[in-house]
Structure 1
Amino acid sequence: MIEVAVRHTRGAFSLDAAFAAEGRVTALFGRSGSGKSTLVDVIAGLVRPDHGRIVVDGVTLLDTEARLRVPVHRRRIGYVFQEARLMPHLTVRQNLLFGRWFSRDRDGGPGLAAVADLLGLAALLERRPAGLSGGERQRVAIGRALLARPRLLLMDEPLSALDEARKAEILPYVARLRDEARVPIVYVSHAVAEVARLADTVVVLDQGRVAACGPAAEVLRRGALFPGRDTAETGALLQMRVAAHDDAFGLTHLDGAPGRLTVPSLPLPAGASVRIRVRARDVLVAREAPRALSARNVLSGTVTAVTPGAGAHARVEIACGEASLVAEVTRLAVHDLALAPGLSVLAIVKSVAFDEETIGVVEI
């Protein structure tokens, strides 16, 4: 459990943010300048706020009213920055063990071998940072922070300095860290895809204020919270399980709250749990069952809300079983189909709409 309530003014910028979150990953989301990094620095103890209270796992790290401020080196917080900040003259092994040096008086936590295995670093231990890719360097930085045996791990846009290929390389390791390391994470990002893949709770910041806070599946449906092109990336977040594979056609069938979904083949055994993001822009809405259609996913549902958006767009929320999908359509489509709450419709999603950005493994 993380509880944060902070007020701080720095020049013309004012931060007044409060939230409580319980889960493995809490994502701080917002455009540049919204206060994400400042808030993380306050949690870490790198910035002294004018007023504030921070509690992590029942331990109070800051309470300005009570004149309590735990020093940075006693907070037991690991920090992963945008840049890896490795020591170039040390090997990967030595960089990792530098984190362990800070935790000599702490019991428990994973050892070097366990962290190297978790982050795929075993084959890199004798190399130096200059011989590593950007994604490898960032994995070493995560391992170093983890070996400090933190009670909380802060990750400030750790993928922002990487290209798309390196981001795709490192995301599965961050997901594995979430599932296996047993250390709560506050993850800063301005990328919806990262937040949807990793977060249990999402805190949206806007101009230093909390615009929304709640379960990721709930917050990511609310397109109005996300600026510009990010709106098209929002939608439904679903927990599904692998039901079967169709090897002849390279497909995998998933079962979950909305029914059955068919996606490109996943290298996972039956029963594996996955998190699926169904982007609003990938959902079509029909009043009648389509004929001779290439899309494999046709789900029965009921319209629960229609919200006009900017310009020609509108968002339609559809209850499919116990799940809720979101479709981004034109306002003309809303008019022509007479879409309104209570109307029975079909939500249609192409199988090829799902890719490595929208499917993440939760557990096997």
Structure 2
Amino acid sequence: MHADTFKLKVKPGKTYLLRMINAALNDELFFSIANHTLTVVETDAVYVKPIKTKVVLITPGQTTNVLLKAKHKSPNASFLIAARPYATGPASFDNTTTAGVLEYEQPNNANKNKKLPLLKPALPKFNDTNFAMQFSKKIRSLATAKFPAKVPRKVDRLFFFTVGLGLSPCPQNQTCQGPNNTMLAASINNVSFAQPNIALLQAHFFNKSKGVYTTDFPANPPFKFNYTGTPPSNILVSSGTRAVALPFNASVEVVMQDTSIIGAESHPLHLHGFNFFVVGQGFGNFDPSKDPAKFNLVDPAERNTVGVPSGGWVAIRFLADNPGAWFMHCHLEVHTSWGLKMAWIVNDGKGPKQKLPPPPSDLPKC
């Protein structure tokens, strides 16, 4: 073990709170400590029903608090703290393991100079989608009087988003390696987001959206196909700066469906400005006639980032009670750079505290 490897020193019988955040740009991570059980008590700054687990899955940008109960007696060993990628896409990835060491305080300096054996945890296979799905389904809100789960029961606006990869025409005067001079792109509902030169929030607040963005983002994919089966023959995506405009306090449901275009892949989707409730998820194609009946509207997980399952779907609900312009995007940085993002424009409400405030007077000029 390298000299500067992180060491977590613990006392026998004590309980420790570990605050975890996945700061990786392009990797979802499995995390485990050899021979120890972790108790998940919080995700994305929201308390959850305690979950005992040997392995935690955490996607880029997610936070998770776990309780670590140290053994009652100092064991004659040290324990590897390990994290390595959960990866499902067709692209190559760095399948290395980052590591630290859990060490126990030894009584009366016993074994101080003795090299203790290092025990290693058993992590899932890098593409274990079943573990990822089962772990995600275990996360439930407390849903108590003190910490209620305020899940929107009625839905004002319903959306079905396909999420995944495709191809786009190569930029003018450039040569790309894809078929017919194309390049990889990522999209939601076949729209690859084009970054504007003027901030969406600025254009929205000053009513100068013309030429910056449009509010015609599609509520459904442009055409239906077997989303997790054989891809369609045409996998070209469009490009544009398109958003969805929502009235203040609208209750929104979004079903996000992974596609097998280029390859099925888990996509950690992050929503700015809101928490949402994960009311349902599953493998295969979402069935609007059967799956909504199975939604959990009692104690679903409340999050700001959720993994769209590889070869599957996830359904979320949120209340649009925060006026402004808010991105929703994949937390895999490379996918965001390829255009896997969109924006919600939440309009002002009628009350004085339901309006977007003006920019500060000392805001630097561009």
TM-score (norm: length of structure 2): 0.22
The structure whose residues are more often helix, as a share, is 1
TM-score (norm: length of structure 1): 0.22
